[in-house]
A and B are shown apart, each in its own frame.
Chain A
Amino acid sequence: MNIVVAIKHIPSIADDLPVKGNNVDFDSVDFVLNECDEHSIEQAVLVKEAVGGTVTVIGVDMIGELDNALHLALAKGADKAVKITGDDPAADSHMQAKWLAEAIKGMGANIVFAGVQASNDLDGQIGPMIAAYLDMPYIGGVSSVEATGDSATVNKEFAGGVGAKYSVSMPLVAGVQVCVKPPRYAPMSKVRQMAQTATIEKVAPSGDSSSGLVFKKMAPPVVTGHAEMIEGSSKEVAKKIVELLKSKGLA
């Protein structure tokens, strides 16, 4: 089975997000792998382990630091790593989807995995757009994938804890929300070994696309209210909570 995982490198929100002009100040922010993509990589490796094949991880290199994420993916069980030398930290998900689709086109993928959305724009378009460009079916909100021959059984999650099982013919694009198992841990010795020995294939970006959105202004949210911390021993705190609930007519 030929499995491709499209990943996205996004600004980390572990720190306050610095703003410069109309966008994030990309020079003073760390980039991290989007969380859904961590699950997507794990799901891909699980499928490979179940039915055999190769996993190729591919992403747009936004700031020249994608190698770390790719080495981690290789240490977790991916077989090949490809980076698209985008070098544009502001490339939106439509742009990235186009570049990814162009690069994936010739790979003969049976399944393309993509995180269902990324926490920077919550756009959720990379998977569907790759599917459209490659003329494959797309299924999002995926929480497990079992591949057999030329079709796959896919669990898709809906709101309110409802799920459904689909049988999808391959090739297909799956937007992974969460992997059936928590992503595995890659020991640092393996990651470093990958960093020393693995070759990452470079591909120039090809094609053009845009979401059409224009950033007019970007600013950190204004703080309007504060949470009240109730101090004291557990008994005092409990008493105050009861009073508070009563005063609001809730108890």
Chain B
Amino acid sequence: MAGPIKAKFVEKEHAIVDGVDISGHWNRMFEQRVITEYTPELIEKIADLPNAESFANCYQCAKCVAVCPVDVVGNYGPRKLYRYAQTGMDLTEAPELWLCTTCANCLRVCPKEVNMVKIMPAAREEAILQGKFVPAELQQAFENTAKSGNPLGQPQRKRDAWIQSAGVPVPIIKDLGRKVSVLWYVGSYPSYHPRGIDAAAAAARIFNALGIDFAILGKEEKDDADSQRLAGEKGLFEMMTEQNIETFNKYEWDEMVVTGPHELNAFKNVYPKYGFERPVVHYSTFLARYLDQLKPLLKHSVKKKITYHDPCYLGRHNGEYEAPRKLLEAIPGVELVEMQRNRENGYCCGGGGGGMWMDSFTAKHTTMRLSEKRAMEAASTGANVLAVACPFEVSRFTDAVKSTGNEHVDVLDILELLDRSMRGEQ
């Protein structure tokens, strides 16, 4: 454990709680019971931070540990963090601060509503503001976002360069100069990452085939920075939020469709606090509404055994489990199989909460990557396609199937699978 041991625990012969001597004869079996008292400073240090109050609620039932994805490859979970703090760990200085992916599986089962999705960003922000250790890769992603408007550090003016690979018109709302029904927020990874671009191009073709009146923001689009917020950079998030809301409100549109679940979470759940309340949906929810029109377009059979990975920020955080499955089931030839951990209990890919930019750091504190664990689980179903619906996941899982010797499993976005069925294998 990093950091100086500040808390101490003392053994006592007697302890009086609410006026009752709990070390009394009625409360021991054969001999004087050892009473241990801990100093609560390091727990309070976290629980005193705004939004992190629930850290102190933990009553050590350990339900969370059983579902924490990090515990599967390491030693983790809110219960353990509480216990570490009780026995001397200053969370703001410990490597444990950076391991939580804010996947929210612990919150789902915790009887005391200990909420890591709020605790972690608060504790991380405190560490950042105090100039404590911040993993170098994460720092780079923050700096890239501030400088270039995206965590990859790609130039802003190339944000719409991907359009060329779509082969169909992708209108920019500024050039269009009129109201559209759908503003499609493409996202940083679909705009710049080669595998993300594949999904963006597929989405463009699907929207065109369905005759959707859409446009994108093009060079005006900037990162949502939600994962940067969860990784502790609230100031950066707020700066991006102000810029984004201004851009979004510059144009007339009825509904926003986002490629990524993290953007959905930002725009739908967090932006209202900053005054932006307009309809936002994930592409899977949006396309599921068009199933009747979509089905006749899915002409080519995709003979694949597919397993679907629930993104934490689409599933647990936003309650969308069925739309992605409906889309996959609509593709002729597809056999859909489930992994053992699915839907509400889906296993995190490790990319959330800034994990996307901390892989080398996390690797030092876990036995394997979360994405690798999940890739192995996917392979064990016998599937030859791992379908995803989050732009973080394609690159993560593509690496993970390779590093775990499961190259035979193709990692494809649902958009790419729909596109394949529409156009046939290209």
Contact surface of A with B, Cβ cutoff 8 Å: 12, 14-15, 28, 30, 32, 182, 184-185, 187-192, 233-234
Could you name 27 residue pairs across A and B whose Cβ atoms are closer than 8 Å?
Answer: A12-B155, A14-B148, A14-B153, A15-B157, A28-B157, A30-B155, A30-B156, A32-B147, A182-B136, A184-B131, A185-B128, A185-B142, A185-B143, A187-B125, A187-B129, A187-B235, A187-B236, A188-B146, A188-B233, A188-B236, A188-B238, A188-B239, A189-B234, A189-B235, A191-B235, A192-B235, A233-B407
- Contact check, A190 vs B235: say whether CB atoms are below 8 A apart: yes
Contact with A along B137-163 (1 / 0, CB 8 A): 001001100111000011111100000
Which residue in chain A gives the minimum CB-CB distance to B228?
Answer: A188
Tell me the bound Cα distance from A192 to B146 in angstroms: 11
Which residue in chain B gives the minimum CB-CB distance to A182?
Answer: B136
Interface of chain B, main secondary structure = helix
Q: Which of B229-283 contact A (CB under 8 A)?
A: 233-236, 238-239
Tell me the bound Cα distance from A192 to B234 in angstroms: 12
Tell me the bound Cα distance from A190 to B234 in angstroms: 11
Tell me the bound Cα distance from A192 to B128 in angstroms: 15
Q: Which of B92-142 contact A (CB under 8 A)?
A: 125, 128-129, 131, 134, 136, 139, 142
Query: How many chain-B residues does the 8 Å CB contact rule pick out?
Result: 26
Which residue in chain B gives the minimum CB-CB distance to A13?
Answer: B155
Provide the residues of chain A in CB contact with B134, threshold 8 Å: 185
Interface flag for B402 (CB, 8 Å): yes
Q: A12, A30, A188: which contacts B235 (Cβ < 8 A)?
A: A188
Interface centre among A28, A185, A188 (most CB of B within 10 A): A188
Contact with A along B319-361 (1 / 0, CB 8 A): 0000000000000000000000000000000000000000000
Provide the residues of chain A in CB contact with B142, threshold 8 Å: 185, 188
- Contact check, A185 vs B155: say whether CB atoms are below 8 A apart: no
Provide the residues of chain A in CB contact with B235, threshold 8 Å: 187-192
Provide the residues of chain A in CB contact with B125, threshold 8 Å: 187
Provide the residues of chain B in CB contact with A234, threshold 8 Å: 402
Shortest distance from the beta carbon of B323 to any chain A beta carbon, whole Å = 34
Tell me the bound Cα distance from A5 to B217 in angstroms: 40
Inter-chain pairs besides A32-B147, A184-B131, 10 sampled, C-beta below 8 Å: A12-B155, A14-B155, A15-B155, A28-B157, A30-B156, A187-B236, A188-B142, A188-B238, A191-B146, A192-B239
Which 4 pairs of residues, A with B, have the shortest CB-CB distance?
A189-B235, A188-B235, A15-B155, A188-B236
Provide the residues of chain B in CB contact with A32, threshold 8 Å: 147
Interface centre among A30, A189, A191 (most CB of B within 10 A): A189
Tell me the bound Cα distance from A187 to B131 in angstroms: 9
Provide the residues of chain B in CB contact with A15, threshold 8 Å: 155, 157-158
With known contacts A188-B233, A188-B236, A14–B154 Cβ distance under 8 A: yes
Which residue in chain A gives the minimum CB-CB distance to B144?
Answer: A14
Tell me the bound Cα distance from A5 to B33 in angstroms: 64
Shortest distance from the beta carbon of A10 to any chain B beta carbon, whole Å = 14
- Contact check, B402 vs A187: say whether CB atoms are below 8 A apart: no
Shortest distance from the beta carbon of A59 to any chain B beta carbon, whole Å = 17
Tell me the bound Cα distance from A225 to B357 in angstroms: 33
Tell me the bound Cα distance from A211 to B99 in angstroms: 52
Shortest distance from the beta carbon of B192 to any chain A beta carbon, whole Å = 11
Tell me the bound Cα distance from A184 to B143 in angstroms: 11
Tell me the bound Cα distance from A190 to B236 in angstroms: 10
- Contact check, B233 vs A187: say whether CB atoms are below 8 A apart: yes
